[in-house]
Amino acid sequence: MKVPQIYNIISAGFVSNMARSSVYLELLTGLWNWEFNYLNGFPFSTYGETVFIAVQNIALILLLWAYASKEDAPGVLEYLVAVVGIAGAGAAPLFMPSEYLPYIYTAQLVLFSIARFPQMLANFQAGHTGSSSGITLFMNFAGTLARVFTSMQEVKDPLVLINFIVNASINAVLFAQYVWYRKATAANHAKMAKQHQAASQAKTTKKDQ
């Protein structure tokens, strides 16, 4: 699901209009989602993709750090909060009494909704979707929509169903933004590519001198 997004960043060599906070929170909520389903013994078919998406989100975060511009590069505090915070909070459900797990699941539902808003706002303010991948956005929407139906059939927990309904709705908005801003996004990408190429050439010239 995240591979097209990862490919876009690596092939371009830069990052544009990507809200890192959204990815941090998505990774955390994905871990909670997986742990809640696993600890409750639900079928792997209803949550298995969260494990693979978590791994891809880790790779995406590393790329966002590596390809961030000097002006947008994360500071030491952000590194510490991201690594220690996500690791600590992500492991918390594994050590909690089972009766508290529904609260964790409710919290991840709320946090996931909040996590998308920085990216929605960034898209709206910039007037384009930057480095976001249309394929990834569509797969996010289609995947969560499919999970609505599988959860209705295989899981009798209303929290799980509500989670995927909310997620599908939010992902629909992000994909709609990608479609709406498509031309502006292409123009911004071309502009950023020229700037990145010019900067690379300037560095090469300095080294030669």
- Under a CB-based contact definition with an 8 Å cutoff, are residues 29 and 115 in contact? yes
Q: Which two structure tokens, joined as six digits, stand for 181?
A: 């801003």
- List the alpha helices (DSSP H) in 13-133: 20-39, 48-66, 76-80, 86-91, 101-126
Q: Is residue 164 part of a domain?
A: yes
pLDDT of residue 197: 79
Tell me, what's the pLDDT at 205? 64
φ/ψ of residue 181, rounded to 5: -95, 20
Identify whether the C-beta of residue 164 lies closer than 8 Å to the C-beta of residue 110. Answer: no
25 falls within a domain: yes
pLDDT number for residue 77: 92
**Residue 10 near residue 63, CB atoms below 8 Å:** yes
Q: What is residue 180's predicted lDDT score, i.e. its pLDDT?
A: 95
Q: Given this model, what pLDDT does residue 172 score?
A: 93
Domain that holds residue 17: 3-117+125-197
Is 205 within a domain? Answer: no
Within a domain: 45: yes
Q: Is residue 166 part of a domain?
A: yes
Domain contains 203: no
CA gap 181, 187 in Å, rounded: 10
139 domain residue, yes or no: yes
Give, in degrees to the nearest 5, the angle at Cα 32 between 31 and 36: 120
In the chain, the largest separation of any two C-alpha atoms, in whole Å, equals 68
Q: What pLDDT score was predicted for residue 209?
A: 59
Assess contact for 67 and 14: CB atoms under 8 A.
yes
3-state secondary structure of 13: coil
- Count the domains in the chain: 1
Residue 202 lies in a domain: no
Query: What tens-digit pLDDT sequence spans the chain (209 residues)?
Result: 788 889 989 988 888 888 899 999 999 988 998 888 889 888 888 788 888 989 999 999 999 999 988 888 899 999 999 999 999 999 999 998 888 888 887 888 788 778 888 899 999 999 999 889 999 899 889 988 888 888 788 777 787 788 788 888 989 999 999 999 999 999 988 888 888 777 777 666 666 65
What was the pLDDT predicted at 68? Answer: 87
Q: Is the overall model pTM greater than 0.85, yes or no?
A: no
